[in-house]
């Protein structure tokens, strides 16, 4: 490639870049390598072209079928669950804590980024345990760039826990590989330091996970093996923290 041709191509590449063409489009139009284009136009401001205003096609047959199945499943779920009895609610909360709560003895702690999960847990905790609201604490886990004050106000309003009872928020280490913040309201941990409450709570969890009805259809040997494993784990109320599995 002669010097004059090189200069002309570089000038044309810069002009096309200023017209909002992508590197790939410029390289294809000029018949040169994309890496060369990248060097030539590095100082040219690039303003992406607005998306076409052409009418989008409607959903295809598979998309329509998928949405119909989802709607049907949601309706089935609503009709199946219907309303929760007192016992239903008790068991649902125990299952929720079994999956998401802290197991270390002495502190009831539930962390989640889904506001619905946090609201359900707190409603359950307040319903079945004698809670001193002044001892409820909340801890925020946030990515860089989130508005701490707005997020704290959001969770305080949602949970009924005063902002004065929030711990200092924890900021995640900035990660350039994250293109967007997945949880715009961060993750909230509800903390209640009470050995008696935590042990009663874990009593429910242990009873749920060792309930005979869960293992109907399995052999007696399988049932016994599972029970031994559960009882020997830290799911037993009062187990030492050193044996914790998934403790927080």
Q: Which of these, 185, 196, 202, lies nearest to 102 by C-alpha position?
A: 202
Residue tagged 């874990």 (tokens): 202
Task: Provide the mean pLDDT of the chain.
Answer: 81
Sign of CA dihedral 143, 147, 152, 157: negative
State what percent of residues in the chain have pLDDT above 70. Answer: 76
Name the more confident of 81 and 49. 81
Paired tokens of 124: 């359950």
How do beta strands 170-171 and 136-142 pair?
A: parallel
Band the pLDDT of 210: cuts 50, 70, 90. Answer: confident
Residue 134 has pLDDT above 90, yes or no: yes
Can you tell me the distance from the alpha carbon of 159 to that of 110, in angstroms, rounded to the nearest whole number? 13
Name the more confident of 62 and 247. 62
Length of the chain measured in residues: 248
């Amino acid at each position: 490639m002669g010097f004059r041709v090189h200069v002309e191509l570089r000038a044309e590449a810069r002009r096309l870049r200023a017209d909002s063409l992508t590197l790939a489009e410029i390289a294809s139009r000029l018949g040169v390598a994309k890496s060369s284009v990248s060097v030539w136009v590095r100082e040219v401001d690039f303003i992406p072209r607005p998306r076409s205003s052409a009418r989008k096609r409607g959903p295809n047959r598979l998309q329509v079928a998928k949405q119909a199945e989802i709607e049907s499943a949601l309706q089935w779920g609503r009709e199946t669950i219907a309303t929760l009895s007192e016992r239903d609610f008790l068991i649902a909360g125990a299952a929720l804590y079994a999956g998401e709560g802290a197991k270390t003895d002495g502190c009831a702690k539930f962390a989640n980024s889904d506001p619905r999960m946090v609201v359900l847990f707190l409603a359950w905790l307040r319903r079945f345990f004698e809670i001193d609201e002044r001892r409820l604490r909340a801890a925020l886990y946030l990515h860089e760039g989130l508005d701490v004050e707005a997020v704290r106000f959001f969770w305080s309003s949602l949970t009924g826990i005063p902002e004065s009872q929030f711990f200092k928020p924890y900021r995640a280490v900035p990660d350039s590989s994250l293109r967007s913040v997945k949880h715009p309201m961060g993750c909230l941990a509800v903390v209640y330091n009470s050995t008696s409450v935590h042990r009663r709570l874990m009593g429910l969890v242990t009873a749920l996970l060792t309930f005979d009805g869960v293992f109907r259809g399995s052999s007696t040997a399988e049932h016994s093996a599972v029970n031994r494993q559960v009882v020997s784990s830290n799911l037993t109320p009062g187990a030492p923290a050193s044996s914790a599995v998934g403790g927080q």
